[in-house]
Structure 1
Amino acid sequence: MLVIGREVGEVIAIDEHIKVKVLSVEGNVVRFGISAPREIEVHRAEIYRRIVEQLAKDAG
């Protein structure tokens, strides 16, 4: 795991198409803005887990 410290307003580049910007930090809550092409799905981990579970159920 890569650990990067950033301040509000700073950006992390995943590649030339995906950018993550720190919008705010309030206590233990960090708000990010994510820019990615529409064809790339971006989900919180708990939502992604539900999607994977549902796909597994649908597959059989």
Structure 2
Amino acid sequence: MLVLSRKKGQTIVIDGRIEVTVLEVEGDAVKIGISAPRDVQIARRELLQSVRETNEEAASATIDVGQLQKIAENLKKNLR
């Protein structure tokens, strides 16, 4: 990991096409701005982790076929 010190208004450039600018420093929080091409995905790590955990839970979930059949029958009744 590369560790850099930057001040408000200073920018770093990644791969010649992504710019990260320090916009504001307030207490222990730093507000940054990121300029990147549209094909570059930018996401917060905690959001990606949450999505990953939700997908893992969904993939390991079991389905009660009888319960699913009841739901389907109720849907059919409501559509009539």
Q: Tell me which interval the TM-score lies in, with the shorter structure as reference length.
A: 0.7 to 0.9
Structure with greater strand share of residues? 1
Partner of 1:40: 40
Number of the residue aligned with 1:26 = 26
Please identify which structure carries the higher helix content. Answer: 2
TM normalised by structure 1 equals 0.82
Identify if the C-alpha distance between structure 1 residues 57 and 41 changes in structure 2 by more than 3 Å, giving closer, same or farther: farther
Task: Indicate the percent of aligned positions where both proteins have the same amino acid.
Answer: 43
> What is the count of residue pairs matched by the alignment?
60
**SS of alignment partner, residue 49 of structure 2:** helix
Alpha-carbon distance, 1:16 to partner: 1.2
Measured on the aligned residues, the alpha-carbon RMSD in Å equals 1.7
| Structure 2 stretches lacking a partner, 5+ long | 61-80
SS at match of 1:51: helix
Find the residue that maps to 1:38 and give its secondary structure.
coil
Structure index of larger Rg: 2
* RCO higher in structure (CA 8 A, sep ≥6): 1
TM-score by length of 2: 0.63
Residue 57 of structure 1: how far off its partner (Å) = 6.1
| Structure 1 residue ranges (4+ consecutive) displaced by more than 3 angstroms after TM superposition | 51-60
